Structure 1
């Protein structure tokens, strides 16, 4: 059986996340203590266009913390700022993430000013996915009759990665005089070990051994320049070379591009606990 070796949640899209021992499987992905969802917040311009590390790699330096009552943002050069979980329902704002128009809620001017100082960019807002916000997953790669929801992640509620695949790719990088990458470059939610390299690309279902939950792997994850960003420093030490190497490595074996990890939905077990150490049946 495969086994979960790590779980990660990223409360704010493109800011730093953190590891968990366990999480709840919520409607839009992993949830911390059933209070905060993965990618529940997004950065956006005042016109509503989302902002990520693709444009601002320095966002990686903004750390996130979750308390019982608030999201807290930290930066080494600025005093931390706390954003209560309760929000103003009159501050509704449309946000565009790729082709999706999503109703969100603006966290206010003081948070926007803090972000502008922390990342050196004006016109940057923090937008929350509210209790009445909706964003269905595209059915293009789902099976017949399936449906799923996602917050501000790129397109799917869960990203699954395989440690053996990263080990093999890192050997390739070393052979080409490039630095190996840590798993945090790929910002996965569920990291699986005791799997053959790239077995995720031939897997449709991951089911917890006692059938408490089941994840459906539905689409390989195409990678972007974000994997070239050092998630500790916010710098791109080798520029686009790791991404170029992943394209040349051709993990899918069809020349289609740079892929690592699998986008997944929750097929069964919403509300269940997912934990590090869970053993998974691979179908």
Structure 2
């Protein structure tokens, strides 16, 4: 069933997070891949036993600021990931964005523990580990995902026949995309003494124009299309410009929402999570968890999503989180 608000909804902001739990990058456009946006959560910081570290344990991770340099100004320099950190005077750390086979052969293969999964990756070496460890105040390792690794989404994954590639992600918690709306953020902020911004919730796609807060929780399938693309009589498009997303599940929220993205300190009053727990325990499959934002899986790959693209709601329905065994 198509939504009457579909023609009004559009993309307001886009974010990628190259290193899991570290600072995000606001972008104007991003390429859709089987793991989410290109470069999103391709790297992860772990302890020395290769157990994933997040802002839950290390709030200062949010102060680590990755930057994608696709077109270096220095002659002959290949694209790279640049890493700095707030208040840290060390020279920026640079890592190859697209390591060659020869470069990869110099990295140590490893197995990373993330939730219930074990993921193959490559340890990026002692220089990166020392750089990050000195800033974070603890021994760590920096890991890049293995290119051919497939880590399947566990929560409400669409049937494979509906997708160009099975539902999967790199080092995100479960789903390749997280979608949220400006209306939902406003609804939360109206209940808080101190406002938070969308960075507390770490979405990839922020939409606006749906009218009511949390209307995105009624969406089951959407298309993201350029502003100039005409729609047919069914308010949909059928060409290579559209990105089709299955909206699979509500995102359950944790203490990370309380971390100040500018300070790297958890809020002592536990906000906004405390407020969310008071009125956003709304999913029958996760009744003890607060929810904000929607997980999404792409049906097709290779398109570019841009700020101001239209969001067409193709199907609506009820949601209930069900995790695969």
TM-score relative to the length of structure 2: 0.80
**Mapped pair 1:113 → 2:133:** no
Equivalence for 1:63: 65
Equivalence for 2:93: 81
Residues 280, 292 of structure 2: 8 Å contact kept: no
- How far the C-alpha of 1:227 sits from its partner, in A, is 0.5
- How far the C-alpha of 1:274 sits from its partner, in A, is 0.6
Partner SS, residue 265 of structure 1:
strand
Residues 283, 291 of structure 2: 8 Å contact kept: no
Name whichever structure is richer in strand by fraction: 1
Runs of 4+ with >4 A deviation: none
- How far the C-alpha of 1:44 sits from its partner, in A, is 0.8
**Mapped pair 1:3 → 2:14:** no
User: Where does 1:128-147 land on structure 2 (aligned, <5 Å)?
Assistant: 128-138=144-154, 140-145=155-160, 146=162, 147=166
Query: Which of 37, 45, 48 is residue 47 of structure 2 equivalent to?
Result: 45
Question: Structure 1 CA distance, aligned partners of 2:94 and 2:158?
Answer: 41
Question: Structure 2 CA distance, aligned partners of 1:121 and 1:253?
Answer: 37
Partner SS, residue 226 of structure 1:
helix
Equivalence for 1:34: none
- How far the C-alpha of 1:100 sits from its partner, in A, is 0.6
Which blocks of at least 5 consecutive residues in structure 2 are unaligned? 1-6, 71-78, 230-236, 316-325
Greater shift in the superposed pair: 58-67 or 205-214:
205-214
Equivalence for 1:231: 261
Partner SS, residue 18 of structure 2:
coil
TM-score relative to the length of structure 1: 0.91
User: Where does 1:26-41 land on structure 2 (aligned, <5 Å)?
Assistant: 26-31=33-38, 37-41=39-43
Question: Structure 2 CA distance, aligned partners of 1:220 and 1:18?
Answer: 23
Equivalence for 1:156: 175
Change (3 A) 1:183 1:95: same
Equivalence for 2:189: 170
Q: For 1:120-146, what per-residue CA distance to the aligned partner results, in whole angstroms no more than 9, with x for missing partners?
A: 112x100001212221212x4123345
What is the aligned-residue RMSD (CA, Å)? 1.6
User: Where does 1:186-225 land on structure 2 (aligned, <5 Å)?
Assistant: 186-195=201-210, 196-209=212-225, 210=229, 211=237, 212-225=242-255
- How far the C-alpha of 1:179 sits from its partner, in A, is 1.0
Q: For 1:167-193, what per-residue CA distance to the aligned partner results, in whole angstroms no more than 9, with x for missing partners?
A: 0111012xxxx3111000001000000
Which blocks of at least 5 consecutive residues in structure 1 are unaligned? 32-36
Question: Structure 2 CA distance, aligned partners of 1:236 and 1:46?
Answer: 24
Equivalence for 1:99: 116
Question: Structure 1 CA distance, aligned partners of 2:262 and 2:110?
Answer: 31
Query: Bigger radius of gyration, 1 or 2?
Result: 2
Question: Structure 2 CA distance, aligned partners of 1:237 and 1:243?
Answer: 10
